[in-house]
Structures are given as C-alpha cells and as structure tokens.
Amino acid sequence: MDMITITDMVVIMSTINRMSAPNHNRSLGRAGEFERLLAQILSQAGWRVDQQPKFADSQPDLVAKRGGKKYIFELKASSEGRKDRAIPLISQAILEVQLAARRFPGAAIPVAVIAADHISNSVAEQVKRFALQNAPGVGIGIIDAGGFRSFAGHGLESLNAERPASPRIDLLAKRPSAANLFSDLNQWMLKILLSEEIPKSMLSAPRGCYGNASQLAAAARVSVMSAFRFVRQLSEEGFLEEKGVLRLVRIDELIQRWLAANQRRVREIPVRWIIRGDKSQLHVAVRSYPSKMEARSSRQRRSHSGRLLKASPRICLGLFAAADVFGLGFVHGAPLHIYLERLDPDALGQLGLSLENADRQADVNVRIPENPESVFRAAVQRDGVPVSDIVQVWLDVSNHPARGRAQADEIRKSVLSRLFKKERA
C-alpha cells in the first residue's frame, strides 16, 4: 500500500499501533452527524454498512461492503470548507485510514473523507489532486451538508452527486443545537464566563464582566461573529441572562451537557521513555520542552531561510498528572497524560519519548486534542510546567476507567462546587 509522503507526520503515524478508545466513546457533534450522513449515502447506494466496526485495537469510522470488496472509511469534519482546513484534514484522514487498513483482518480498501457545511468544487478538486499525488492507493471522498459529493478511486465515483442547482435544505439542518454549543472556541468562552469562580492558579483566562458579545469577543480573542453566535445559543437554550452583563444560569445542567458532549472518541498515543528516569521525569521534560523546541526552530530558520516554518506544537500536562500538580490527586498509580497540539516526531524526541515497544506498556499517553484552543489557552503555568486547567481535567477524567469518577468527584467537591453554590445563593 502506498504511503503519503508528508514527512513531518508519516514517521510518527506509521508506527502508532493504538489510536482509538473503546467503541462506546463514538464521536459526537458535527463529525458524528457527517458519519451518519456518509453511512446513509452508502446505504442508499446499496452498500452494506457497519457504523460500529470492531477489530484489533484500531477503529475506523465506518466499514462497508460492496461487490465482494470491503472498504474502511475515516472521516474528518471541518467547520469551514477552505483549502487551508481541508488539506491538513485529508492528510490526517489518509494517515489514519492507512493505519487502520494495515491492521484490518483481511484485505480492505482505505477511504479518507472530509466533510463541511459547504465545500466548493474548486476546493474539492484541489483535495483530490493533493491526495492523488501523495496517496494514490487511498480512495478519497468530499461531502457537504448541501448534497455535494465528490469521490475518487477504487470505483467510488458512482457515489458522486452534483451540487443542486436550486437552494435546498441543509441535510443536517435538524441537528440538535448542542452540536455546536461545545465547539472548541465555545468551550474556551465558557471557561472565561466561569472563571470568576475558579482560582487563577487553576485556570488561565481573562476575568471580568462582559456586557455583550463584542466585549466577550475582545477578551477571548475570537471574532465578534463567533462570540455573537455563542451568546445567542446560550440565551436561546436558557443558560444565559443578559441583564447588563452576561451571566450564566442553570450552571449544573449546562456543565452536565458539556460533560456529555466531551465524551467522544479520544485518540491516545502510547509512548515510552527513551531513557527512564525518576518520577519527576515528565515534569522536567515538559518544563524544558519550550527551550529545546526554540533551539530546534532557530536551527531550522538558519538552514531554511526564506521558508515559513510551523510553530512548535503546544503542550501541557493533562488528566491525573494535572490533578496531582493542583494538589488534588486522588488515584495512585494512574496513567500519565500529556496534551500535544499535533503529531510531531521532533517534539516527542525533544521530550525524550519514543513509540518503540509502547504497545506492551506505555509510560505516557499522548492526547491530540479535538479542542486545542480551549485546552491550551486555558492552561496554567505551575513551576514552569504548563498544566491543563481544572475544568478540562474534570471533563477528561470523569469517565476515565482508572477511577476517573472518584477523581472527578474530588475536583468537583474541592473546586467546582463554588459554581453551583453561587447559583443557589
């Protein structure tokens, strides 16, 4: 099977053997709706579709059969159908579906799909050209909520559909409003609105009173339109009072909804120490990471003058490791987690971590967040170590199998109870 030649991703992705959480944590929200739309497209075309595939320890989004052949699908959804969003997403989908195909029991054709509310014909053609050049063995699909479908490779062209000439109803228009209430930037703005009742040492966010969406947008460093949509949706669902200032109400219900939306499929990458050290090794590695990556960037700038280089991926401690830093650790011997903004082999190397033999016993689990802005903007610094905020920790550990519920209860009792006490006052 031909492999994509994106060098800064293939090295690390080609050796990952365990990327998916159990099947019950299926993706929620917009991506989940597009998965259902894809399944509907296939079913209507006479395919046999399994929306809950289970095999080995790798899990694609869909497995389907047609004409004696099996196809596995990996779908990535974007809020916008721009080229700068579509190309990275199709790259990620290609790498993940290639991995799943290698682990699939028997022969299977990999298909990478991207989806958005609207994808233009020109962007679709650019995506297909990119995929053909870099991963000719992978089928490609582009779908949007308006009925546009463009597939290529392995006979998938029979699924194609032109964009309707006249306006039509969004195929996903009946989605529940919660689908976007907890988007990445919305979660960040929720943390801002909740921050007054959370210690500064546990959540990094601008604190203040905001009279309207424009003021919130300025504080959150998001577009006014993003803040306006967020405020409007909170208000429509009865979670916001606007009497001079934006004030959250029914906080308990809101946070429970947030928690439910957060229980999506999580991809964790197991890694091991190249050279094992003492129990402070993870803190030392994360603390020294910025300076090491800056030195790497300086070397790259000197050797690639004139080229635009990627910023180093952001990082912070997560889950139980973060709870320990806050003095709220409750589960002894819990797995260690870090958040890394994107897969980067150099970043892992600078941390002293390796993918080799990590399947048997991981020292650290690396999470690539679905909501990077909410995770990294709200992270705090503790003794030079970036740590995910206490709200994020609570969301992440709540359904973790390693006594996560007990850890979450401790965080709620010690810190988050202030939110609910204020509402009852």
Helical segments of 240-312, H only: 251-262, 281-303
pLDDT value for 171: 59
The Cα–Cα gap between 274 and 19 comes to 20
pLDDT at 250 over 60: yes
User: Across residues 139-156, what is the average pLDDT?
Assistant: 88
- Residue with tokens 């033999």, as numbered in its chain: 357
How much is the mean pLDDT over the chain? 81
pLDDT value for 16: 36
Beta strands in 190-345 (DSSP E): 240-242, 246-248, 268-273, 315-318, 337-340
pLDDT at 334 over 70: yes
Sheet hosting strand 385-387, strand order edge to edge: 353-354, 268-273, 364-367, 337-340, 315-318, 385-387, 380-382
pLDDT tens figures, 35-49: 888 888 888 888 888
pLDDT at 55 over 80: no
pLDDT at 168 over 60: no
The Cα–Cα gap between 93 and 96 comes to 5
pLDDT tens figures, 156-165: 898 888 876 6
CB of 265 closer than 8 Å to CB of 60: no
Residue 90, helix vs strand vs coil: helix
The overall pTM is greater than 0.85:
no
pLDDT at 370 over 90: no
- CATH T-level assignment (fold) for domain 7-159: Trna Endonuclease; Chain: A, domain 1 (3.40.1350)
pLDDT tens figures, 11-26: 334 333 333 333 333 3
More confident residue, 139 or 176: 139
pLDDT value for 307: 55
Does CATH number 1.10.540.10 belong to domain 178-262? no
pLDDT value for 174: 46
Same fold, 7-159 and 178-262: no
pLDDT at 265 over 70: no
pLDDT tens figures, 287-330: 988 887 776 666 665 565 555 556 788 999 999 999 999 999 87
pLDDT at 167 over 60: no
pLDDT at 199 over 70: yes
More confident residue, 418 or 390: 390
Domain boundaries, the chain: 7-159, 178-262, 268-417
pLDDT value for 285: 92
The Cα–Cα gap between 177 and 48 comes to 30
pLDDT value for 10: 40
Beta strands in 13-120 (DSSP E): 48-50, 62-66, 69-77, 109-116
Q: CB neighbours of 15 closer than 8 A, spacing ≥ 6?
A: 355, 356
pLDDT tens figures, 61-101: 788 888 888 999 999 988 778 888 889 889 988 988 888 88
